[in-house]
Chain A
Amino acid sequence: MNKRHYNSITTSAFRKGFSLLELVLAILIISILSVGTLGYQYLATRMALRANAEITATRTARFILDNWKKTGGDENFDLESLDADFEEIPKTSQYTTTINKLPMTTELYWKDIEEDTLSMTTIRQIQVTVRWKSDYSTSQLTSSDPSFIMATYVRRDEDGG
C-alpha cells in the first residue's frame, strides 16, 4: 500500500461534520420555512386590519340606518344634518366620512317594495353601502375596494323603533 492510497482511505474514513453544500442547503431550507411563517404573521396582521375596518364600517352602516329609520325612510334624508362629520359628494347620493381613522364613502339607496292601498301603508327598503380603501389610504375609491351593505325595512306611516 503506497502513501497516497493510504491518505485517501484515511481521509474518507475519518471525515466528520457537514460539507459546505449541505450547510448552505440546510440554511436555505430554514430560511424558506422562516419566510413562510412570517407570511402567516403578515397575513394575520392584514386580517386584523381588515376586521377592524369591517367593524367600523358595520357600525357606521347601522348608525346611518338607525337614524334613517327614525325619519320613516325619508327619501330626503340628509346625513349632513346629523352633525356627525358626513360630507356630501355633490350630485351624488354619496357621503364621505372618517371614523376611527378609517376614511369611508357611504351611499344611500331606497326602494318601495310593497304598498297596501287598503291600510294605506307602504313598506320601504332602505339600504346603505359603506366602502373603504383596501390599503386603508385616503386615495380615490374604486369598485374593487371592499364594501359592506346593510339594509332594513320601514313602514312609511311609522317612524323608528
Chain B
Amino acid sequence: MRLKSDFRNRFQPGFSLIELIVAIAIVAIPLAAVAVLLTGSSRSWQRMYNDTHSQIRQDSLAVMMSIQKTGRQANLTNYSIYTIKNSRYSPATPPSGKTIASGQAVEFRFWQDTFDPDNPASNIFESDNTGTHYALYYLDGSTLKQDIGRVVNGVGGVANNSRQTANIQSTLVLTKLVNTTANNELFSHAMSGGQGNGCVNTRITLTDTNKNSIEILFGTLLRSAWPR
C-alpha cells in the first residue's frame, strides 16, 4: 500500500509549483499588454463605427443630396431665401454693408411636367413659367423639412409672408437633429441689386443625443439657361 503511494508521488506528471508561477508571470506580461491594446483599439474602432453609421451622418447625406438634386434643376431667376420669425417668412436681405443674405428657408422652382404639345403651358419653350413645381426647405424648430408642391397661378411655397399648404404634394422630414445653437441660418447667397447670384450655400450642423455632431457646408448652383 505504502509502496503504491510513494510510486505515485515520485512519478506524478505535470509542472512543479515554481514552474507554474513562473509560467503565469511570464504569460501575464504580454497578455496584459495585449489587453490594454485591445481595449483601446476596440474603443476607438467602436467610436469610428458608430460615427460612420450614425444618424447624423445618414441625415447629413440625405440633406445634401436632396437640396443639391432639387437645386441643380431649379431656375436661378426665381428662387428665394427667407428668414422665419414666428412662422412669418420674410425675404432674406444682407446686413448693412454686406452682400450675403442668409435665412432659415429656401424655395426653388423647377420644371417637372413632361412636354405636352397640346398644352402650351407645359411647353418650356413657350411658357413664361419659371417652373411647374416648387421645393421649399424650411427649419421648423430643430427639424428640417421639405415641401414639394405645384406652382398654381405663380404661387409656390410662400406667399403673403406665410407658408402655403394648398398645393403641397408631399412633405418630407429630412432631419430632426439640426443644431440651431451652432448655426441658425442654414441657407445663404450673395446678392446684388436685390437679386441672388444663383449659388445657394447651405451650412448645417447636426447633433445627436450623444452630443456627436457633424457639420456640412456645400454650395448649390442653380440653372441659368433652362427653362428660361
- Tell me if A10 is interfacial: C-beta within 8 Å of chain B: yes
CB pair A160 B197 closer than 8 Å? yes
Query: Considering the complex, which residues of chain B in the window 98-117 have a beta carbon less than 8 Å from any beta carbon of chain A?
Result: 98-100, 102
- Tell me if A23 is interfacial: C-beta within 8 Å of chain B: yes
CB pair B11 A11 closer than 8 Å? yes
Q: Of B102, B214, B218, which contacts A63 at CB under 8 A?
A: B218
CB pair A45 B41 closer than 8 Å? yes
9 contacts across the A-B interface (CB closer than 8 A): A20-B19, A31-B34, A34-B37, A41-B41, A42-B44, A45-B44, A84-B201, A100-B216, A159-B224
CB pair A81 B190 closer than 8 Å? yes
A71 to B190, CA, bound (A): 10
Convert B199-228 into 0s and 1s, putting 1 for each residue whose CB lies closer than 8 angstroms to a CB of A: 101010000000000111111111111000
- Tell me if A161 is interfacial: C-beta within 8 Å of chain B: yes
Which residue on chain A has the smallest CB distance to residue B219?
A66
A17 to B151, CA, bound (A): 84
CB pair A160 B221 closer than 8 Å? yes
Tell me the smallest distance from the CB of B113 to a CB of chain A, in Å: 22
- Counting chain B residues whose Cβ lies within 8 A of the other chain, the interface size class is 35 or more
Which residue on chain B has the smallest CB distance to residue A41?
B41
- Contacting residues, chain B, for A160 (C-beta < 8 A): 76, 197-199, 221, 224
A34 to B38, CA, bound (A): 9
Query: Considering the complex, which residues of chain B in the window 14-28 have a beta carbon less than 8 Å from any beta carbon of chain A?
Result: 14-15, 19, 22-23, 26-27
Q: Of A17, A41, A67, A69, which contacts B14 at CB under 8 A?
A: A17
Q: Of B11, B37, B42, B76, which contacts A14 at CB under 8 A?
A: B11
CB pair B11 A7 closer than 8 Å? yes
Tell me the smallest distance from the CB of B112 to a CB of chain A, in Å: 19
- Contacting residues, chain B, for A34 (C-beta < 8 A): 34, 37-38
Convert A36-68 into 0s and 1s, putting 1 for each residue whose CB lies closer than 8 angstroms to a CB of B: 001001101100110010000001101100110
A66 to B11, CA, bound (A): 85
Q: Of B11, B26, B41, B224, which contacts A10 at CB under 8 A?
A: B11
